[in-house]
Structure 1
Amino acid sequence: MDKRYGLILIIFIVCIVNLFIVSDVSDVVGSASAECGDFIFSLPEGFTLYDSNPKHVLIRNSDGIEINVYSSIDSSDTYDAKIKEIERKGYTIISNGTIDVGGIGVKSVFYNKTDDNHQNRSTFFFIKDNNRFRILITDFNMENDKNKTIGYVSSIIESLKVNYKK
């Protein structure tokens, strides 16, 4: 047998052993993703996909927090229209403003549907890749989970990209 074949065989065996070690040690094979319109995003850790259609995705976690992601929203579905709707329905606005997520201005409003702490909602509006999006988060505890909700939204926005498979 030629020395070159022996060297190729040794390299092949080393590569197979390395692949086995990496796959055995790795905890995460990949993150789950969801398709929303012409876009795809990674689900935040702990969330499961519950419903999906061409313009809407619903995900939930074990704490009962629900996240609705809407893509290609109508030009009438705006931040200002949402503020007016919240005021018209008599909900309490807890806080609102703009959050910067990776250079994208995300308009946000946190509001309470009733006096119950688990009827808190937050809505986020933003534009990415010339497409309008809205994210609605419901059923979270404002005192404990407000920063988590912002983290979930940031995670979704940062992972959101055009699905070139379509």
Structure 2
Amino acid sequence: MDKRYGLILIIFIVCIINLISIVDVSDVVGSASAECGDFIFSLPEGFTLYDSNPNQVLIRNSDGIEIYVYSKIDRADTYDAKIKEIESKGYTIISNGTIDVGGINVKSVYYNKTDDDHQNRSTFFFTKDNNRFRILVMDFNMANDKNKTIDYVSTIIDSLKVNYKK
């Protein structure tokens, strides 16, 4: 066998070993994204796109947590209006306030429809790139998943950017 064939065989074996190690070490292939109006954002890890309309996106994970992302919300759809709506329907407000996500003030309210702990909801209002957004997180366990919901919302807000392809 010629020396060139031996060198090609060695390079081929090294490449195969590298590919096997990359596949074993890498658990995330890539980051999926979704369009919401004139914007695009990355889905948090473990979530898949379930439904998409021009100004609304629904994503879900295997734990049953649903996240709705709304862009171009009406002027009447505000944080204060949502608080009044929650109170008028007799829901229980668990907590509310403002969180900071990358320099963006996000107004949040956590509330419960019933006494069932998996009927918790949280709504987040914020403005980014001169556009108002609302994120609704549903069907999570308040005791176990409150910090996860903040992480999910933070991931969406951090990755939210104008879709220049439109």
Pairwise TM-score range, normalised by the shorter structure: 0.7 to 0.9
TM superposition score normalised by structure 2: 0.86
Q: Deviations over 1:31-88 (max 9, x none)?
A: 0100000000000000010000110000000110000000010110000000000000
Superposed structure 1 runs of 4+ greater than 3 Å apart:
20-27
Structure 2 Cα separation of the partners of residues 27 and 144 of structure 1: 24
Cα deviation for residue 23 of structure 1 reads: 6.2
1:164 is aligned to 164
Structure 2 Cα separation of the partners of residues 87 and 99 of structure 1: 22
The question of 1:51 aligning with 2:51 is answered yes
The CA RMSD over aligned residues, in Å, is: 2.0
The question of 1:121 aligning with 2:121 is answered yes
Aligned identity (percent) is: 85
User: Where do residues 70-149 of structure 1 align in structure 2 (5 Å cutoff)?
Assistant: 70-149=70-149
1:151 is aligned to 151
2:31 is aligned to 31
Structure 1 Cα separation of the partners of residues 75 and 97 of structure 2: 20
Structure 2 Cα separation of the partners of residues 39 and 23 of structure 1: 32
Gaps in structure 2 of 5+ consecutive residues? 1-10
Cα deviation for residue 149 of structure 1 reads: 0.4
Return closer, same or farther for 1:141/1:38 CA change in 2, 3 Å cut-off: same
The aligned length equals 153
Structure 1 Cα separation of the partners of residues 92 and 109 of structure 2: 10
Deviates more, 1:28-37 or 1:67-76: 28-37
Gaps in structure 1 of 5+ consecutive residues? 1-12
Cα deviation for residue 26 of structure 1 reads: 4.0
Give 3-state SS (helix, strand or coil) of 1:34's partner.
strand
Give 3-state SS (helix, strand or coil) of 1:31's partner.
coil
Give 3-state SS (helix, strand or coil) of 2:86's partner.
helix
Structure 1 Cα separation of the partners of residues 76 and 22 of structure 2: 48
The one-letter amino acid of 1:60's match is R
User: Where do residues 9-24 of structure 1 align in structure 2 (5 Å cutoff)?
Assistant: 21=19, 24=23
TM superposition score normalised by structure 1: 0.86
Give 3-state SS (helix, strand or coil) of 1:77's partner.
coil
Q: Deviations over 1:124-163 (max 9, x none)?
A: 0000000000000000000000010001000000000001
Structure 1 Cα separation of the partners of residues 120 and 31 of structure 2: 28
